[in-house]
């Protein structure tokens, strides 16, 4: 698993890099947004850790670049900042970040958040493997997908199709859709969604769920699809199966 750290704080960059390397991760370091963007394209990291305040640009600008490239949509991103209010954190998550952390934080806490993110990324592939073994004797070449109305999701290839067209979503958004499409017509609270998608060992505000749901709905709207993730007043959200 390759991790790219983009942080102009050289000492902080070094400390977390050493810790992650000791934990077995392949780590690449960048000190500016410009170099970081080059590294994203050349190193092909699985996860990018970005400080919101870089010496030559903002971390959000680098996040926008990553999310703007279709071939990089599978890359997971964790943003971190020294000072940030709730609205800033929400904007970061709404822009496509998979997690947000406030500095200072311990290397152990960062590693725990990274591992939680990795579990979320691998969940869909692990379940896809089980589904294929049950349906075609372990032959994964046939792929695995679930479809409701205009929405089709393929866990093996990590692809989402809306009205037959490939639609790009972030890894977290994909995992949310995966979870809902395996539990249609069941209302879940935000806390339940956080537990099932983010896991137990991560601290994320319930409002984070709202931002990701809003992004999923916006993607559906772009492709002219019905809003099938509905709000259940007093509870949370539900994937409404189409008849």
* Domain shared by 101 and 165, yes or no: no
Q: What is the pLDDT of residue 29?
A: 95
* Domain shared by 153 and 73, yes or no: no
**pTM greater than 0.75:** no
* Domain shared by 6 and 100, yes or no: yes
**Structural domain for 172, as ranges:** 137-239
Domain assignment present for 22: yes
* Domain shared by 149 and 230, yes or no: yes
Domain assignment present for 18: yes
Domain count, the chain: 2
Q: What is the pLDDT of residue 86?
A: 67
Per-residue pLDDT in tens (0 to 9) along the chain, 243 residues: 899 999 999 999 999 999 999 999 999 999 999 999 999 999 999 999 999 889 998 888 899 899 888 788 778 899 988 876 666 676 777 677 888 888 888 999 999 888 878 876 665 444 444 444 333 333 333 345 778 888 888 877 778 999 989 998 887 888 889 888 888 889 999 988 988 887 765 666 777 888 889 989 999 999 998 888 999 999 999 998 755
Q: Characterize the bridge pairing of strands 2-6 and 47-51.
A: parallel
Domain assignment present for 96: yes
CA distance 225 to 127: 26
CATH code of the domain containing 185? 1.10.10.10
Nearest to 129 by CA among 167, 155, 152: 155
Domain assignment present for 122: no
* Domain shared by 97 and 149, yes or no: no
Domain assignment present for 118: no
Q: What is the pLDDT of residue 147?
A: 82
* Domain shared by 148 and 198, yes or no: yes
* Domain shared by 78 and 148, yes or no: no
Which residues, 6 or more positions from 99, have their beta carbon under 8 angstroms from its beta carbon? 77, 78, 79, 113, 117, 202, 204
Q: What is the pLDDT of residue 31?
A: 93
């Amino acid at each position: 698993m390759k991790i790219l750290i983009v942080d102009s704080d050289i000492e902080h960059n070094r400390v977390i890099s050493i810790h992650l390397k000791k934990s077995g991760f392949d780590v690449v370091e960048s000190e500016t947004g410009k170099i970081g963007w080059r590294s994203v394209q050349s190193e092909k990291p699985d996860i990018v850790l970005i400080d919101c305040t870089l010496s030559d640009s903002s971390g959000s600008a680098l996040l926008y670049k990553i999310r703007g490239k279709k071939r990089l949509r599978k890359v997971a991103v964790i943003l971190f900042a020294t000072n940030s209010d709730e609205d800033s954190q929400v904007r970061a998550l709404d822009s496509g970040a998979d997690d947000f952390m406030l500095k200072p934080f311990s290397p152990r806490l960062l590693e725990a958040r990274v591992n939680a993110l990795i579990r979320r990324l691998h969940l869909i592939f692990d379940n896809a493997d089980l589904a294929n073994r049950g349906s075609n004797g372990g032959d994964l070449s046939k792929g695995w997908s679930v479809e409701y109305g205009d929405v089709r999701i393929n866990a093996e290839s990590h692809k989402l199709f809306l009205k037959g067209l490939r639609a790009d979503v972030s890894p977290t958004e994909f995992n949310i859709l995966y979870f809902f499409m395996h539990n249609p017509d069941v209302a879940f609270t935000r806390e339940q969604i956080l537990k099932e998608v983010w896991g137990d060992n991560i601290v994320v505000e319930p409002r984070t769920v709202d931002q990701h749901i809003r992004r999923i709905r916006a993607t559906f709207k772009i492709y002219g699809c019905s809003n099938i993730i509905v709000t259940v007043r007093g509870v949370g959200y539900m994937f409404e199966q189409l008849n």
